[in-house]
Amino acid sequence: MSKPKVRKLQDYPRGFPKISCFLDSDDAFMVYRRFGSVYSRLLLSKQDEMSRMEATLLAMDQTDHADGNESYLMSRPFDVEREEIPEVWKGQSRVKLLERMEKVALEYAELLLKAQKLKAMDRPSNRDYRSVLHFMENDGGQLFEEDMGFIYEKEDLITLRPGREYAWLDGLLERTLKVLRCRLIKFFFCPKETRDKTDDKDIHYYDRDRISTCVTMMITTIVLALLVVPIWLLYRFSIQGTIATSPDTIGVVLVFTLVFSAALTGFTKARRHEIVAASAGYCAVLVVFLGNVNNVGSVPR
């Protein structure tokens, strides 16, 4: 049975072959330009062209209205079969103008949607950008200076890496793994397929699925802690009989509600009103529990 083929950086010649292999070797390295200013220039050009044709169309309509030729405005077939064209139209019929406008309008709409799609794509994190920049600048001078210009257009760069709500946590975990690099970490997070990608000791590849699994476990642990710890603290206060009067009770509810809001902000892409609603619900759960244990504690024994 044949083994899976692994593309190794050292197997590619210096220059564009090796650079392209590096950019494709990991999701974090897929960094390219979106050419935002070029798209803006093209959109402005198409917009101006459309505006001029729109003004011409309006002038044609006004001419027919002023000359008493409103029948051409009321019947399209009649306008199509028109033989006499006013001199001010410079030999161009309204039908031909509309055909040109349709072509330009479709081109404009396509450019507009493409520009919107590119603008909505995520920008590379500082860590990913520095990784690509470091490879291109320090790996023996991969490209000529004029060919490396794109990597310095930081404000215009986008990443093809699929957006994750907690991608920063992935980066934090990878930095931690790099600092604590040992055989155990290599065994769990660096399978043979990823290690075979390069023999460069300065380049580290991690299995994305295992990173995602580890991050998911971390988030699950945090969520459980946010639910269990405050309830346990409130229960301890109820045992001491001070839950109704202790300022620590309000402090627990306030602190953990703030931590819950911060967790929502950091781990999700929730909007502000969604964060407020979720935090209010979380606070309500703690208050309901607080009321229940208070009632239980006040029952005569």
Residue 55 has pLDDT above 70, yes or no: yes
Most trustworthy range by pLDDT among 58-62, 88-92, 154-158, 219-223: 154-158
Paired strand residues for 33: 157
Question: Distance between CA atoms of 140 and 147, rounded to whole angstroms?
Answer: 15
Residue 297 has pLDDT above 80, yes or no: no
Mean pLDDT of the chain: 82
- In this prediction, residue 153 carries a pLDDT of 93
Q: Residue holding tokens 């409103």?
A: 70
- In this prediction, residue 43 carries a pLDDT of 97
Question: Distance between CA atoms of 244 and 237, rounded to whole angstroms?
Answer: 9
Buried b (16+ CB within 10 A) or exposed e, 39-63: beebeeebeebeeebeebeeebeee
Q: How many CA atoms lie within 13 A of 185 on its CB side?
A: 14
pLDDT band for position 167 (cuts 50, 70, 90): low
Please state the pTM of the whole predicted model: 0.70
Residue 212 has pLDDT above 90, yes or no: no
Q: How many helices (H) and strands (E) does the chain have?
A: 12, 2
pLDDT band for position 1 (cuts 50, 70, 90): low
Question: Distance between CA atoms of 113 and 92, rounded to whole angstroms?
Answer: 31
Q: Maximum distance among all alpha carbons in the chain?
A: 105
Most trustworthy range by pLDDT among 189-193, 271-275, 287-291: 271-275
pLDDT higher for 117 or 85?
A: 117
Reported as a single tens digit per residue, the pLDDT across 241-283 is: 655 556 778 888 889 999 999 888 877 777 888 888 988 998 8
- In this prediction, residue 301 carries a pLDDT of 44
